[in-house]
Structure 1
Amino acid sequence: MTLDNNYRQDLLVALRLHEISGERVGEVIAEVEAHVAETGEDPVQAFGAPREYARQVAAQLDPATGKPSTAWTMGSSLVVATLTLLGLNLFADGISAGAGEVAYTVRDLVTTLLLLFLAGGGVLVIFRAYAAGVRRAGVIGIGVTAFALIMATEVLGDLLLDDRTSLLAMPRWSAIAAGAVMLLAAAAMLVRAIRRGRVVYPVNRSA
């Protein structure tokens, strides 16, 4: 008997959401495939639902065996989100500024910080909720709530905050350069995370 592809994919996603290394993900999936092939047993009966089994695997790991700490994961995700958002804003504003300066008002700064907090926090909460076994309707509700708060922030910012007085200004080339550096740094961190998360199946080294 071969492992059902739906179970394999669901288990893969669930393991990734627990920030388990790609090498360990490959080992877990290979173990499940080998058990099913040898015994013919249904994987749900043998290991439980994919998300339940992923939680069991994650609970047995520490940073030395393939799972970084929650604080490290959240911190690195926030850094990537910050660099990406600020980098895009600076680069795009610098390109569109023409020959003038890039200026930011109180509204720009406040709404950007709130957007970063709500978007980054919303994504992290959605991932954690899914990994913890929250039902799909609950996960969708979290996403809708975060999106509604982001929209409300933009509307309230237009109504309540000063969007005329320049609080910070810089030459357009400075904004372009700073934005490019931030985007490159975010890309480097993402490449490192992708390499770490690449699924590596165990091989028969005696062959």
Structure 2
Amino acid sequence: MMTLDKKYRDELTIALRMHEISGRRVGEVLAEVEAHVAETGEDPVEAFGRPREYAAQVAAQLDRATGKRSTMEVVASGAAVAALAMFGSDYLLDGLFADTATIPYTLKDTVALLTMLVLFVAGTMLFFLAFTAKARNQIYAGVAVGAFGLAIVSQIVIGSVFDDVTPLYEMPRWAAIAVGAVFALGVIGMLTRAIRRGRVVYPKAG
């Protein structure tokens, strides 16, 4: 009895996950491919196509009810995790290591964080498109790298343009620590949920 090649299975698993397909549905797809190969002995590439191509075909047939998150849901959850991580780490570290009882946040601080957030989320989404789009993959990858590079350059530009002296708002140390900790817990909770959703679960026999 022929078994599915580990390389093909691993590549297909990653490709399916790139399309934000649930772990349960990924398990069903893998089980179907493995069963077909075992029964027919056919090469999986000839039977189903290359992993990325077959993953795109599977994703096109799914919706939220059948195991695939919508694009808006993916973008929203990604932006939420990034925002909680960036602002949470900033507040938490400032609160833990500040020398004063009150921490000032300037216009430069706020604009720098928001710009980093937008470009980071955009770069991440483009990175996923580079692995899931049927065409122009290299263009998406190039623009994603450009977005990450621009995020770094923007911090230098913002530092020289925006006011870094006058406080836009202030926060007590204890509040910064508390808000940072809550945001960190939010990130942990969302990532834990994503890990559980993405865990591959094979269908039960019988």
Q: Give TM-score, length-normalised by structure 2.
A: 0.94
Provide the C-alpha distance between the structure 2 equivalents of 1:20 and 1:123, rounded to a whole number of angstroms.
17
1:1-207 superposed matches below 5 A:
1-133=2-134, 137-138=138-139, 140-205=141-206
Provide the C-alpha distance between the structure 2 equivalents of 1:70 and 1:139, rounded to a whole number of angstroms.
16
Gaps of 5+ in 2: none
Provide the C-alpha distance between the structure 2 equivalents of 1:167 and 1:34, rounded to a whole number of angstroms.
61
Q: CA RMSD in A?
A: 1.5
Gaps of 5+ in 1: none
Provide the C-alpha distance between the structure 1 equivalents of 2:43 and 2:84, rounded to a whole number of angstroms.
45
Deviations 1:122-164 (A, max 9, x none): 1011112211145775454233212220121111012111111
Deviations 1:48-84 (A, max 9, x none): 1111111111111111111121111211111111111
Provide the C-alpha distance between the structure 2 equivalents of 1:180 and 1:153, rounded to a whole number of angstroms.
27
| Counterpart AA for 1:167 | L
Provide the C-alpha distance between the structure 2 equivalents of 1:91 and 1:49, rounded to a whole number of angstroms.
45
Provide the C-alpha distance between the structure 2 equivalents of 1:137 and 1:55, rounded to a whole number of angstroms.
17
What secondary structure is seen at the aligned counterpart in 1 of 2:158?
A: helix
| Counterpart AA for 2:48 | F
User: How many residues align structurally?
Assistant: 205
| Counterpart AA for 2:80 | V
CA contact 1:51–1:133 (8 Å) conserved in 2: no
